[in-house]
């Protein structure tokens, strides 16, 4: 599945290579980065559209993101869909985590799950949190999960 920059330019190398190149370019400009990974989805009839993002925030100097869109044609209950969102985020976090360790970059995985029990997505909170933290990643849910609930939400097709 293809990754692209937020401006629409496609990334034509493996994402790990592009992230390494990006980290090195930002370091050359003395930028300190933090990275946030998140996925969101929307159901449109029988199709589920997903967007996974890698958000790079520069300390006191804005940010940018890489985007991957995908689709699923299976019917999933809300809990299954949310856990699939989380697994997509974990998959890319796992692929990139050695880079973040090598370059001493903080990384969080964000889940589009509400922490308030009055919302249906809250049913998935414990499983998602256990899954993410069990993989050794820092975890955030709504309202702090901006990578999934704001950034990924904006780029779903």
Query: pLDDT per residue over 37-52, tens digit each?
Result: 999 999 998 899 999 9
- Dist. CA 117–CA 137, nearest whole Å: 24
pTM: 0.93
Query: pLDDT per residue over 17-40, tens digit each?
Result: 999 999 999 999 999 999 999 999
User: Is residue 65 within 8 Å of residue 73, measured between CB atoms?
Assistant: no
Domain count, the chain: 1
Closest CA to 32 of 10, 71, 61, 55: 61
CATH assignment at residue 68? 3.30.420
> Which domain, by its residues, includes 115?
3-154
């Amino acid at each position: 599945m293809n990754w692209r920059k937020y401006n629409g330019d496609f990334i034509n190398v493996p994402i790990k290579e592009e992230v390494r190149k990006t980290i090195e370019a930002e370091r050359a400009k003395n930028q300190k980065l933090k990275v946030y990974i998140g996925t969101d989805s929307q159901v449109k009839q029988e199709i589920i559209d997903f967007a996974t993002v890698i958000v790079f925030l520069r300390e006191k100097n804005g940010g940018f993101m890489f985007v991957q869109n995908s689709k699923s044609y299976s019917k999933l209950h809300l809990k299954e869909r949310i856990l699939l969102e989380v697994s997509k985020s974990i998959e890319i976090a796992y692929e990139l985590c050695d880079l973040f360790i090598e370059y001493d970059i903080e990384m969080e995985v964000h889940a589009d799950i509400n922490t308030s029990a009055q919302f249906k997505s809250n049913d998935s909170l414990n499983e998602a949190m256990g899954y993410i933290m069990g993989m050794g990643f820092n975890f955030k849910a709504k309202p702090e999960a901006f990578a999934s609930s704001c950034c990924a939400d904006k780029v779903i097709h």
